Structure 1
Amino acid sequence: MVVRRKIFHKLVTPEEALEKLAKYIELKPLGTEEVSLEEALGRVLAEDVVAKVNSPPFDRSTVDGYAVRSVDVAGARENAPVKLKVIGSVEAGEIPSVNIGQGEAVEVATGAPIPSGADAVVMVEFTRKIGENVIEVFKAVPPGGNVSQTATDVMVGEIIAYKGTVITPQIIGALAASGIDRVLVYKKPKVAIISTGNELVKPGAPLSYGKIYDVNSYTLYSLVLEDGGNPKLLGIIPDSYEEIRKALAFAIENYDIVITSGSTSAGLGDLMYRVLDELGSPGVIVHGLNIKPGKPTIIAIVNGKVVFGLPGYPVSCLMNYNLLVKPVIRKLAGLKTARSRVVKAILPLRVFGGKGRRTFIPVALIRKEKLIAFPISGDSGSITKLTRSDGYIVVPENINFLEENSEVEVYLFTENYGSDLEVIGSHCPIFEKILAKLRGKYTVRQLNVGSLGGLLAVKRGEADIAGIHLLDPETKQYNIPFLRKYGVKNAVLIKGYYREQGLIVPKGNPLGIESFEDIIDKNVRFINRNKGSGTRALIDILIAKIAKERNIDLKEVIGKINGYWIEAKTHFAVATAVKYGRADVGVSLKYIAKIYDLDFIPLAEEEFDFLVPINSLTKASVKEFIGNLRSKEFIGALNETVGYKPKSDIGEIVKVNH
């Protein structure tokens, strides 16, 4: 069978996409239904709710005490008490059977009706019994004092809650107080959620190589709930024309909205647009957005139902849900369109746009002298890219880049942005153990951008702590030379520990790799580390050394390394590539080699230190970090961990001088 390739239709903006959609679907609530108060929380009222009774429905006491005529106790005080005769008592729920006359009182409980003739209640604390039916009152009370009068809260016919209001626990209380047990609300749009892809596995199931867990189904489910919809997961559908067609036909027939993720691009394996075009007219009305990330997006109308085909990558999927699906679901649910809160911040780095496409860039907001919007690295498949971000910035389609130190508008994901401790720099599994202890007490954000990225983040004033392990090729000294080279001032270097770096190869070392030279001479498949990382700096120093020893041009040596341009961003990524046969060798930690059951050939013992701005040393979280670093517990853990050992001066603070 020949599989057709379909090129994207004309790319449109999100605004144009919603305008097209509105031509086919009336974006208003789908109907109403009556629900009980127990079911009403979070629902949207479809009509104004009017009080059926007064609240309170009678004059009632707000305290335990004595119902009195205020005129009788007008002169009462500590040294001149007023005596009153007690003629009865009333509990909450009872009907008073007595009338109060001059010089009389009735004992009342909180919530009890006020007897006829009384206009106030004296708190029991300001009275004293001096006989079986006589009390003394030590404090005057004004007319109406400690009495909740009829209809002072709500009057019959008064509107308690208005049409379009989201029902809260407080509103439910007000409804119950007015005798209302059922309310008319808008129906929740029923939303079917489908994930497509042969590579997807349900969370909780074993994960074999080449498979990934389904992230989007559960993210979308939560978002739909949050936006007033009634979501239903229809499972994972393989990239099969018949399976996708069957699932979509069922969803379109039984649900108001269908959301799919995956199978939306113009590739040979992406079938969604074909199925939707064939299921009903008009079919696909949007195929491709003029944005980045999120270009491969579909909107279709089939038999009067709207289908959103979102990209498979989690970041693209979530961003496009917010742009397209959220406003539609909220309108069908009777909710107001959610407005993003926007704050202004300084962009510390130049960021590039999408060459004619509107570009959305997640950022972390860092509270310093000015609010800083730090761009979060990672592709649109990154799961943590959004969990580490507080919002996003937009690079318009007609701009190539946003300049360093420019003021930008940040569209917030959350109102609670910023962290107690900003950790930006190189990743280290043992460093994580210290941070884990701090997380129970502080909000800690960790951005793994490599040693050089962390050094520059400290220099610019964004990071509180940066883990670094940069080897200078000339002095063979770690870290200090780079602080001078990049002009880092007003910072200190906190001494850390040693880590053993080396070549990692499959168990048994089947290719007999013994040194870095073998990577060149045996033409094995190598996986490199990302630029800016300390491990990459070590690799490049080793390559330069070989070129010098062999009197060969550096570029020529690099050209002989099969995989030099293939980069991994973490030690774990290197180990995974070697473990599952995508590479024969890489450079990583001895600690990582043990975790993945790989063989290890030592190359170097590197120094992992911590760079801290001087003005962060006063922060409680940083002080506690330094204390943990120096602790006997942590030093003992280092000594017991494969490939690690503490420096003799661990935790010592070294001032950076120039």
Structure 2
Amino acid sequence: MTLLPVDQALERILDGVKALPGESVRIEDAGGRVLANPLSAMRTQPPFHASAMDGYAVRAEDVQTPRGLRLRVIGESAAGNRFHGVVGIGEAVRIFTGAPVPEGADTILIQENATSLDDGFIEATSSVAIGRHIRKAGLDFHDGDVVLEQGRLLGPAGIGLAAAAGHAHLSVTERPLVAIIATGDELVRPGETCGPDQIVASNGFAIGALAKNDGARVLDLGIVNDNSAAISAAVRKAADAGAHVLVTLGGASVGARDLVRQALLEAGMSLDFWKIAMRPGKPLMFGRLGEMRVLGLPGNPVSSLVCAQLFLRPLVARLGQRNHTPDLRAAVLATPLRENDERRDYIRASVAAGPEGLIATPFPLQDSSMLTTLAAANALIVREPGAPAAEPGSRCRVLMLG
């Protein structure tokens, strides 16, 4: 059986995937969400000519004498409480940062350049050009301007801009729902007592954390024993919950107790592929069950997480209208690597900056059960099928993980 290349597997997983529809949420709940539509301003900011400094609103032609010019103070303009009169010849209005500039004034004499006199006058100690220290109406944006583009991931600045533009609710892309089923009689949850032949389940928590980091909601359907009826019941729960993606962990290989693939087929899944040319992660399964996409990840922890990095992350990102570009970089090897076989290899490594670029040091042990090396790795060395043996100093590609 010819194994499916990694790039073709990803193409088939993403084929036909479109971003989920938008939903309206309160602006205080929109942080970390993705805008479903372009966002236009509902107001002009600032809505009036505003002072950028504390001082006096004056006519520029009245303060061209370097020293000794006296101006009569006729009122005050504060933020939220403007001066309603008109500034005439030889007059000034006390003004504070953010306050509307009164009619008749065309510049701001900052308070450091004005001396207050006892008789209601000030003395200007410096000349000021027209428009100095005035923020013109619409300096930031105008009513109707597109201030945030569709697909924008909303961080603090984006949320602040949306609020300033007058929006109390935002249309954001629905978050994908990823249902996770871990299978195996040997598995127990963290904190539970392990039998002599059991291990603690870790994959579901790791995959759930990865999916959440990419904006997904996660439905943890727990550990399902190696029982066809139990697996089928868990699959139905995922479908009934409206999961966009079902991730199964383990049980998709060819052993007598690997029951997941058959249970999914009996549930009506259209199987696309179930083996790919990569290491770790050869027994990867993909299919469709109605509108739900099914990704069967290997049971070995490292295989599961590497496959999730390569296939689940782009799928969740596409559904959630997020950008996902693998961080591939050039590096040189610190230690030798043997020739590769017909599968693309993803080798856990530590990558650090060297005098002439990145240096990749592969870990000596690459067993797919070893989470310690994956947790210590900040990159995967990517080796193509049939790559010849490589000596230290040879160039390589690395997929950064952090």
TM bin, normalised by shorter chain, reads: over 0.9
- CA shift, 1:71, in A, is 1.8
- CA shift, 1:383, in A, is 1.3
- Give, in whole Å, the separation in 2 of the partners of 1:93 and 1:169: 25
**Is structure 2 residue 27 aligned with structure 1 residue 15?**
no
1:332 is aligned, of 319, 329, 343, to: 319
Structure-2 residue corresponding to 1:397: 385
Structure-2 residue corresponding to 1:58: 48
Q: Tell me which amino acid in the other structure corresponds to 2:398.
A: V
Structure-2 residue corresponding to 1:35: 25
1:542-588 CA deviation, whole Å, 9 max, x = no partner? xxxxxxxxxxxxxxxxxxxxxxxxxxxxxxxxxxxxxxxxxxxxxxx
1:246-265 CA deviation, whole Å, 9 max, x = no partner? 11121123211111212122
Which secondary structure state, in structure 1, belongs to the residue aligned with residue 117 of structure 2? strand
1:131 is aligned, of 87, 110, 118, to: 118
**Is structure 2 residue 256 aligned with structure 1 residue 264?**
no
- Taking the TM superposition and a 5 Å limit, the aligned residue runs for 1:186-201 are 186-201=173-188
Q: Work out which of the two has the higher radius of gyration on C-alpha atoms and give 1 or 2.
A: 1
- Give, in whole Å, the separation in 1 of the partners of 2:48 and 2:283: 64
Q: Tell me which amino acid in the other structure corresponds to 1:124.
A: Q
Structure-1 residue corresponding to 2:372: 384
TM-score (norm 1): 0.58
- Give, in whole Å, the separation in 2 of the partners of 1:104 and 1:311: 80
Q: 1:206 to 1:148 in 2, by over 3 A?
A: farther
Determine what percentage of the aligned residue pairs are the same residue. 32
- Give, in whole Å, the separation in 1 of the partners of 2:14 and 2:397: 29
- Give, in whole Å, the separation in 2 of the partners of 1:184 and 1:86: 49
Q: 1:353 to 1:302 in 2, by over 3 A?
A: farther
- CA shift, 1:88, in A, is 0.7
**Is structure 2 residue 107 aligned with structure 1 residue 120?**
yes
Structure-1 residue corresponding to 2:268: 280
**Is structure 2 residue 67 aligned with structure 1 residue 83?**
no
1:621-656 CA deviation, whole Å, 9 max, x = no partner? xxxxxxxxxxxxxxxxxxxxxxxxxxxxxxxxxxxx
Structure-1 residue corresponding to 2:232: 245
- Give, in whole Å, the separation in 2 of the partners of 1:234 and 1:15: 30
1:382-440 CA deviation, whole Å, 9 max, x = no partner? 112122112111121122533332111222112xxxxxxxxxxxxxxxxxxxxxxxxxx
TM-score (norm 2): 0.93
Which secondary structure state, in structure 1, belongs to the residue aligned with residue 112 of structure 2? helix
- Give, in whole Å, the separation in 1 of the partners of 2:119 and 2:370: 79
- CA shift, 1:132, in A, is 4.0
1:298-339 CA deviation, whole Å, 9 max, x = no partner? 112112311111112221111111221111111111123x22
- Taking the TM superposition and a 5 Å limit, the aligned residue runs for 1:25-424 are 26-76=16-66, 80-207=67-194, 209-254=196-241, 255-282=243-270, 284-336=271-323, 338-352=324-338, 354-370=340-356, 371-376=358-363, 377-414=365-402
Q: 1:139 to 1:237 in 2, by over 3 A?
A: farther
Q: 1:182 to 1:353 in 2, by over 3 A?
A: farther
Is the 1:128–1:136 contact (alpha carbons within 8 Å) kept by the matching residues of 2? yes
- Give, in whole Å, the separation in 1 of the partners of 2:195 and 2:87: 84
- CA shift, 1:122, in A, is 2.0
- CA shift, 1:184, in A, is 1.7
Q: 1:353 to 1:360 in 2, by over 3 A?
A: farther
Is the 2:14–2:315 contact (alpha carbons within 8 Å) kept by the matching residues of 1? no
Q: Tell me which amino acid in the other structure corresponds to 1:18.
A: L
Structure 1: gaps of 5 or more residues: 1-8, 415-658
Q: Tell me which amino acid in the other structure corresponds to 2:334.
A: P
- Give, in whole Å, the separation in 2 of the partners of 1:366 and 1:334: 32
Is the 2:328–2:400 contact (alpha carbons within 8 Å) kept by the matching residues of 1? yes
- Give, in whole Å, the separation in 2 of the partners of 1:199 and 1:242: 18
- CA shift, 1:354, in A, is 4.9
Work out the number of aligned pairs and report it: 399
Is the 1:355–1:400 contact (alpha carbons within 8 Å) kept by the matching residues of 2? no
Is the 2:46–2:140 contact (alpha carbons within 8 Å) kept by the matching residues of 1? yes
- CA shift, 1:199, in A, is 2.5
Q: 1:198 to 1:400 in 2, by over 3 A?
A: farther
- Give, in whole Å, the separation in 2 of the partners of 1:195 and 1:353: 34
In terms of fraction of residues, the more helix-rich structure is 1
- Give, in whole Å, the separation in 1 of the partners of 2:193 and 2:99: 63
Q: Tell me which amino acid in the other structure corresponds to 2:376.
A: R
Which secondary structure state, in structure 2, belongs to the residue aligned with residue 155 of structure 1? coil
1:441-489 CA deviation, whole Å, 9 max, x = no partner? xxxxxxxxxxxxxxxxxxxxxxxxxxxxxxxxxxxxxxxxxxxxxxxxx
Is the 1:47–1:164 contact (alpha carbons within 8 Å) kept by the matching residues of 2? yes
Structure 2: gaps of 5 or more residues: none
- CA shift, 1:245, in A, is 1.4
Q: Tell me which amino acid in the other structure corresponds to 2:373.
A: K
- CA shift, 1:74, in A, is 2.4
- Taking the TM superposition and a 5 Å limit, the aligned residue runs for 1:508-527 are none
- CA shift, 1:209, in A, is 4.4
Is the 2:336–2:391 contact (alpha carbons within 8 Å) kept by the matching residues of 1? yes
- Give, in whole Å, the separation in 1 of the partners of 2:397 and 2:340: 18
Q: Tell me which amino acid in the other structure corresponds to 1:273.
A: R
- Taking the TM superposition and a 5 Å limit, the aligned residue runs for 1:593-604 are none
- Give, in whole Å, the separation in 1 of the partners of 2:126 and 2:199: 74
